[in-house]
Amino acid sequence: MSAEHPRVARSSLACLPCRSRHLKCDGKRPFCSRCSTSGKLCQYAKSRRGGLDRAALAARREAQLAQKSSAAPVSSLSSTNASSDTISVSCVLESPPLTVDLESLSSDAVLEASHGEEAFDIDQDWLQSSTLSPAALPSPPIDINGDALLEAYYSRFHAFHPCVLPKRDLERFSCHPEIRSRLAPVLAVIRMIGAVYTRSPDLNQLRDHLHDCLIKAKPDDPFIVQARLLYSVPLYWQGDKVSAQQQMDSAISIARQIGMFQKEFATDNGYGDPVLQESWRRTWWQLYVVDGFYAGTTKTTPFETKDIEATVELPCKESEYESGIIPPSKTLDGFDSREFAFEKNDFSSFAYLIGSVRCAALALDVVTKGLSRNSSPVIVDSADSIIEGYLLLLPEERKQVISKSGEVDELMFQAIMAINASVIGLHRPFSDLRFDPVESVSSCSTDPPSNTSSSELVNIHTVRSLQAIQSQVRLLALPVRPFCHTPFITCMISVGTLGLLSACKFLYKGRELAVARDRIRMAIGCLRAIGDIWPQTARNLQEIQTIARDVLGIGPKMTPEGVQQHGKANSPNLNHGMLDSTKPLADLTSGFTPWDTLEELEPDMCLWFNLGATDK
């Protein structure tokens, strides 16, 4: 080796975080430069050098063992629910993972293992000190590298509801001495959702493990809010709506109790880490968004978070969150007054999704009150102006839901789908897109207006409904395959498809009818893609198919008695009239081939890529 490039020996004074990640450490006290820059907790292991010799260490260990044998035994590691005093210290030591047994490891073994220039700077004194008793020792590190289920979650679900830590930061915090044990419920739900997408045979075991993690975790931990929020999603879309609501109610209750909706919460609970602070902000707003989605999907779930005066700041852009470079946060007040800003104020897609749900909440209030056609001007003057204001103030870059590289902005996709579903829900009751009684079969449909008197604004309502439907169709036709989005768009698609079916029956003729039938085909195909993962969407798809057969005159029509009897309580079966709600979920979805019925809807398929010229 040349003199210009002398060999640099690895320092034995490296801090524990740098050692765990095999990073170069300058050894500065009390905090090394790397930890100070990244905002991580910097800790050093006590050195054994200059301490007791082997004989003294052995004598002290004998005394400690005698004292321990006379005291009550410790049955487990409280922070990790381990079954013995054995701990893994691979996040602390610089070597490959090592298991240290406090009962059997001798002082000589510790000294021999630490022999040489690259010795571990850790000893019995550190392991057995009163401040690090077996019950208080750091929890075992969480091995998440190369986890196929975790990879599936981040590649196929995280972008839909991005509140948990980015993958890189999750790996970083899995070695944090104060946080890694608290991550157990979040990691459990991540792996369970990953198992859904990979169709893992271990799904039931993963669900049981998640339940154990939720039971053992500290009940007021903000990580529990993340875990229960995310857990409610697969529960609902796998058909267990009661349990999904329980998880959601618990998440909201904990978030309110710990003040997660307040601005100070993220800073007070973020350990000085900007990414973790951003994750807390995102958790509250994701809770708000999903709560709104449930309210819009079920039509019966109360939108509890809607009336909470949140002061928490808005989430940053997704690219900033993933990179870890978090800019100063923007406020909800700034978003609400963005039309008065002279300079360009670039809010994130997440912020516009929040704004979309807030607008949809007003639409939901109007629809659930069952306004009649005579109340049409009220909608135009109040709720509709808010929705139109949102759409008009949407920046051009946010309207471009797909990038030049073909990546979809999932949050803007949800925002625009939701706002258009709200427009349809607002205007269709007062339009010429009349309701067919068979629509009551759909769990996503709204009740028809009780008053059918004419309105001078009927054409406005009809045009706005059709425009919103076409906007949804353009999103569904984005050239990205496979079609994979959050299951919450199921009812958004269904609402637009029901309106399009009404247009086929009451408005369209000739070429317009053919184009609309092609759009219905595409919407059903999109529902099918989601239904391949989520059984509840598969049920909703069967509902839409049965309605379509009846409205378009394909096959036997449902009798009024059949519609009244089943209504929204059950889902229709294409072959036998109705689904048997007592059958297991697997029986309802096995052998399900939506395309068999889809081919009956329109034998002459037209390519969507030709629709642009047709619409002109």
Burial group, residue 199, by CB count within 10 angstroms (0-12, 13-18, 19+): exposed
Q: Which of 113, 141, 169 is the last residue of a domain?
A: 141
Q: How confident is the model at residue 449 (pLDDT cuts 50, 70, 90)?
A: low
How many C-alpha atoms does 457 have within 13 Å on its Cβ side? 17
pLDDT for the residue 115:
36
Residue 234 in this model has a pLDDT that exceeds 50: yes
Query: What secondary structure, in 3-state letters, does 105-174 show?
Result: CCHHHHHHHCCCCCCCCCCHHHHCCHHHCCCCCCCCCCCCCCCHHHHHHHHHCCCCCCCCCCHHHHHHHC
Residue 392: CB atoms within 10 A of its CB come to 8
**Residue 4 included in any domain:** yes
Global confidence as pTM: 0.71
Three-state DSSP class for 206? helix
d(CA 129, CA 97): 22
Q: How confident is the model at residue 257 (pLDDT cuts 50, 70, 90)?
A: very high
pLDDT for the residue 371:
54
**Residue 274 included in any domain:** yes
**Neighbouring residues of 12: CB distance < 8 A, sequence distance ≥ 6:** 117, 118, 119, 121
Regarding whether 301 and 403 lie in a shared domain, the answer is: no
**Residue 315 included in any domain:** no
**Residue 252 included in any domain:** yes
**Residue 324 included in any domain:** no
Sequence letter at residue 426: L
**Residue 121 included in any domain:** yes
d(CA 298, CA 291): 11
Q: How confident is the model at residue 445 (pLDDT cuts 50, 70, 90)?
A: confident
Is 316 in contact with 327 (CB distance < 8 Å)?
yes
Express each pLDDT in 210-229 by its tens digit: 999 999 999 999 999 999 99
The tokens of 67 are what? 């004292």
Regarding whether 567 and 460 lie in a shared domain, the answer is: yes
Crossing angle for the helix pair 410-427 and 274-298, nearest 10 degrees? 30
Is 416 in contact with 471 (CB distance < 8 Å)?
yes
d(CA 191, CA 153): 7
Q: How confident is the model at residue 255 (pLDDT cuts 50, 70, 90)?
A: very high
pLDDT for the residue 515:
94
Is it true that the peptide bond before 30 is cis, omega within 30 degrees of 0? Answer: yes
Residue 288 in this model has a pLDDT that exceeds 60: yes
Query: Rounded to 10 degrees, what is the CA torsion of 33, 264, 224, 319?
Result: -60
**Which whole number is the average pLDDT over 267-291?**
97
Regarding whether 164 and 243 lie in a shared domain, the answer is: yes
Crossing angle for the helix pair 184-198 and 203-216, nearest 10 degrees? 160
Query: What is the count of structural domains for the chain?
Result: 4
d(CA 312, CA 331): 8
d(CA 171, CA 150): 11
Regarding whether 56 and 39 lie in a shared domain, the answer is: no
Regarding whether 544 and 476 lie in a shared domain, the answer is: yes
Regarding whether 175 and 120 lie in a shared domain, the answer is: no
299: alpha, beta or left, given left = phi > 0 and alpha = psi -120 to 50? left
**Residue 165 included in any domain:** yes
CATH number for the domain including 2? 4.10.240.10
Residue 293: CB atoms within 10 A of its CB come to 25
The chain-wide mean pLDDT, for the chain, equals 76
Regarding whether 475 and 397 lie in a shared domain, the answer is: yes
pLDDT for the residue 557:
64
**Residue 135 included in any domain:** yes
Q: Which of 552, 574, 550 is nearest to 563 (CA)?
A: 550
Regarding whether 215 and 352 lie in a shared domain, the answer is: no
374 compared with 43, residue with greater pLDDT? 43
Regarding whether 191 and 54 lie in a shared domain, the answer is: no
581: containing domain: 338-615
Express each pLDDT in 122-180 by its tens digit: 333 323 333 333 333 344 445 567 789 999 999 999 999 999 999 999 999 988 888 98
Q: Which of 98, 122, 141 is the last residue of a domain?
A: 141
Regarding whether 495 and 364 lie in a shared domain, the answer is: yes
Regarding whether 288 and 270 lie in a shared domain, the answer is: yes
Regarding whether 533 and 510 lie in a shared domain, the answer is: yes
Backbone angles phi, psi at 87, to 5 degrees: -125, 150
pLDDT for the residue 142:
53
